[in-house]
Structure 1
Amino acid sequence: MLSFCPLVFQVVPTVYSHLNEQIILSNQFSVTEHYRSGDSGRVQALPGVFFFYDLSPIKVTFTERHVSFLHFLTNVCAIVGGVFTVSGIIDSFVYHGQRAITKKRELGKFT
């Protein structure tokens, strides 16, 4: 049995910029393997391993930077406000659900 196995290598250029103005030029790599047996009914397929390189026209840049204390404080306030909002919604559902069950129980409709 002969098999067909193409390997696709994708290369993305990457730049890392640090706070101390050090710049590192690098690449990100990924490999995709497609395996197909020779029994798939294709008589014309050549057996073997084939390598394809896909060079990306896009460059990824990671820049390290400091965030101000005011930005940090704003994020903390947003998180605390979100927690209070979600807990208020859950409390409202529980309160109104318990109240509706109590009313139905008093009217004798809850069995």
Structure 2
Amino acid sequence: MEVFFYTRLVHWFQETPNGMYQYFIKVVPTICTNIRGYKIQSNQFSVTEHYKSPEIGRRSLPGVFFFYDLSPIKVTFTETHASFLHFMTNVCAIVGGIFTVAGIVDSFIYHGHKALRKKMEIGKLG
């Protein structure tokens, strides 16, 4: 089994010299288990970038700084199949929801039509 990792290469140019770049990197260990029991140990990560420009009259430390936050909690994804009973329960819930909404719409139409007919009869009598 081949596993491909996607990496993104970014280029940019900073017009103002002597700025401070800060990267806050959060890493979460992750295990993915497929339906056949094959495990892939990997990491999820997120990066937040912060740029601080130099202030006039104040000293600032130019550079690039990396701050790592390694999570002590491991995330586990496990692929499973839903049982046939679970599938049938979902189908019954969907069908029941359709009947309920259809009943509400039918009730609105029936009572609206009844009220309109009553108004028209009152208008004809007067």
What CA distance in whole angstroms lies between the structure 2 residues aligned with 1:17 and 1:62?
6
Say which SS state the counterpart of residue 91 (structure 2) adopts: helix
What CA distance in whole angstroms lies between the structure 2 residues aligned with 1:107 and 1:35?
74
Residue 42 of structure 1: how far off its partner (Å)? 8.7
**CA deviations over 1:55-78 (Å, ceiling 9, x no partner):** 112211111122221111111111
Number of residue pairs the alignment of both structures matches? 107
Q: TM-score w.r.t. structure 2 length?
A: 0.68
Name the counterpart of 2:34. 18
Amino acid at match of 1:38: P
For the structure 1 residues 98 and 38, does the alpha-carbon distance in structure 2 shift closer, same or farther, using more than 3 Å as the test?
farther
Name the counterpart of 1:61. 76
**Do residues 78 (structure 1) and 86 (structure 2) align?**
no
Q: Which has the higher strand share?
A: 1
What CA distance in whole angstroms lies between the structure 1 residues aligned with 2:68 and 2:113?
63
For the structure 1 residues 98 and 35, does the alpha-carbon distance in structure 2 shift closer, same or farther, using more than 3 Å as the test?
farther
Residue 23 of structure 1: how far off its partner (Å)? 1.3
Could you list the runs of 5+ residues in structure 1 that have no partner in the other structure? none
What CA distance in whole angstroms lies between the structure 2 residues aligned with 1:98 and 1:36?
67
What CA distance in whole angstroms lies between the structure 2 residues aligned with 1:68 and 1:3?
57
**CA deviations over 1:28-51 (Å, ceiling 9, x no partner):** 111111234335x79354333221
Amino acid at match of 2:53: S
Name the counterpart of 1:50. 65
What CA distance in whole angstroms lies between the structure 2 residues aligned with 1:33 and 1:55?
17
RCO higher in structure (CA 8 A, sep ≥6): 1
Amino acid at match of 1:77: C
Q: Which has the higher helix share?
A: 1
Coordinate RMSD, CA, aligned:
2.4
Could you list the runs of 5+ residues in structure 2 that have no partner in the other structure? 1-15
Q: TM-score w.r.t. structure 1 length?
A: 0.76
